[in-house]
Structure 1
Amino acid sequence: MDAAFGQLLHVTTRAIEVAGVAVIVIGMFFAAFNFLRERSREGAYHELRATLGRAILLGLELLVAADIINTVAIEPTLDSLAVLAGIVLIRTFLSFSLEVEIEGKWPWQQARPTSGHSSENSARTELVDRPH
């Protein structure tokens, strides 16, 4: 591999890693600022956790992207591939955990109805209540 290209890839992965850390830190400050500004509002704590969780998820995505570039393009060894696999597994677990914390459901579950009725019951009620 050309030395200049290798150096460019190395700088790119470092920049993506810095961006990932910056997203997490800025997201943390943004979430804290919003929480302190609206802490008396109902649901402010839930919003704090959701905003922080989203920032962590986005930051993790960037950090994993940097690791993938590093493993595939710069240092394609079995050791680096094993480390990448471990990082991806940990990130996937964290992602699912944060998704449950933010949304209150697993990613593959449908959204819960807000009215307390199932969508099937709501459709039936709509048909029955509609004037003929």
Structure 2
Amino acid sequence: MDLVARIFEYIGVGVLCAGLLWSVVVAAGAWRREGGAAAYQKVRATFGGVLLLGLEILVAADLIRTVAVSPTLENVAVLGVIVLIRTFLSFSLQIEIDGRVPWRRSADRTDVRL
């Protein structure tokens, strides 16, 4: 199971590296078409989403390692702290990307269809 956790870590790091490159490509295209302010917004939104995905994958790796490989009370406590920190980071990134708290997203929509 340690191998599975390590694979998840490699996938998480790979997602972050590939996402950074993709964000730069998207920002360069936006820079040429729309200017600097649009490029900045594009890179923030694109890389912010990549960071969220990477954090989720790394949390999964930590869960696998702690629960399956070495489930001591100390490791579970450390995992809890890591998950809290990463959850706070994910929440903060989501607010930064959307510009509003997640529970306000549905209230702000005006084109709701039944």
1:92 deviates by 1.0
Q: What is the match of residue 14 of structure 1?
A: 6
RMSD: 1.6
1:60 deviates by 0.6
Identity of aligned residues (%): 46
Unaligned runs of 5+ in 1: 1-8, 114-118, 123-132
Q: How does 1:74-89 map to 2 (within 5 A)?
A: 74-89=69-84
Letter in 2 for 1:33: V
Q: Greater RCO between the two (CA within 8 Å, min separation 6)?
A: 2
With the length of structure 2 as denominator, give the TM-score of the two structures: 0.86
Structure 1 window deviating more from structure 2 (33-42 vs 69-78): it is: 33-42
Q: What is the match of residue 130 of structure 1?
A: none
User: 1:105 aligns to what SS in structure 2?
Assistant: coil
Q: How does 1:52-131 map to 2 (within 5 A)?
A: 52-111=47-106, 112-113=108-109, 119=110
Letter in 2 for 1:106: V
Structure whose residues are more often helix by fraction: 2
Q: How does 1:42-53 map to 2 (within 5 A)?
A: 43-53=38-48
**4+ residue segments displaced more than 4 Å:** none
Distance in 2 (CA, whole Å) between partners of 1:18 and 1:71 is 17
2:30–2:42 contact (8 Å) kept in structure 1: no
Q: How does 1:24-39 map to 2 (within 5 A)?
A: 24-39=16-31
Distance in 2 (CA, whole Å) between partners of 1:78 and 1:39 is 50
* Rg larger in structure: 1
Letter in 2 for 1:48: V
Distance in 2 (CA, whole Å) between partners of 1:69 and 1:31 is 29
